[in-house]
């Protein structure tokens, strides 16, 4: 079965399954492998969740022509946010040891204590736990997520741009 010949519906439902599997692996890595997620990791999960929702709704609805782009834009918003977050996370991981910011409070505490705008600023400023590199199959987790964001965005655009149902 050639994935380049799949219908829009099949492609978007496959995108949903992939996003769900990636979120499942993130939970497995957290709860079984003991990889504690930093705030940037949690935001990357949210980006996958946004993509999963638009993939699912787009796959179930399977609109024709221009209607497809509504769901594709939703997927792209999630993907672009994910690329930005993963890129920032990778940048923090490349900093020399003397330039790594100090560890801050966890995301739950920040959300309870500070306004959302300040939480975003604190998260994207980074903290020491975000600079910790825990490789998965030889690459840091943000590198894998970055690759998946790009791949899923390309698949979403390809499925929406195709003329075939």
Q: Write the DSSP string, 95-139.
A: S-GGGSPPP---HHHHHHHS-HHHHHHHHHH--GGGG---EETTE
CA 82 to chain centre: 4
Q: Which CATH number belongs to the domain containing residue 147 in this structure?
A: 1.20.1550.10
- pLDDT tens column, 7-49: 899 999 999 999 999 999 999 999 999 888 888 888 999 999 9
The tokens of 85 are what? 């977050």
- pLDDT tens column, 85-120: 999 888 888 877 776 666 666 677 777 888 888 777
Q: What is the pTM of this model?
A: 0.85
Output the pLDDT for position 75. 98
Question: What does the angle CA 120 – CA 18 – CA 23 come to, to the nearest 5 degrees?
Answer: 40
- pLDDT tens column, 130-162: 667 778 888 999 999 999 999 999 999 999 998
Q: Which domain holds residue 133?
A: 3-161
Counting the structural domains of the chain, the total is 1
- Residue 2's closest CA among 144, 162, 149? 162
For residues 32 and 49, the answer to whether their CB atoms sit within 8 Å is no
CB contact set of 78 (below 8 Å; sequence gap of 6+): 47, 48, 49, 50, 51, 54
């Amino acid at each position: 079965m050639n994935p380049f010949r799949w219908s829009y519906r099949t492609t978007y439902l496959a995108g949903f399954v992939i996003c769900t599997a990636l979120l499942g692996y993130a939970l497995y890595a957290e709860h079984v492998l003991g990889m504690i997620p930093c705030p940037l990791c949690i935001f990357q999960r949210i980006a996958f969740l946004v993509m999963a929702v638009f993939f699912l709704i787009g796959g179930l609805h399977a609109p024709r022509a221009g209607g497809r782009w509504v769901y594709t834009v939703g997927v792209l918003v999630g993907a672009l946010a994910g690329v930005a977050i993963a890129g920032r996370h990778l940048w923090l991981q490349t900093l020399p040891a003397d330039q790594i910011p100090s560890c801050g409070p966890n995301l739950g505490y920040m959300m309870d204590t500070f306004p959302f705008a300040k939480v975003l600023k604190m998260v994207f400023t980074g903290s020491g736990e975000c600079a910790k590199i825990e490789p998965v199959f030889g690459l840091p987790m943000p590198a894998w997520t970055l690759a998946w964001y790009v791949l899923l965005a390309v698949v979403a655009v390809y499925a929406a741009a195709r003329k075939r149902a």
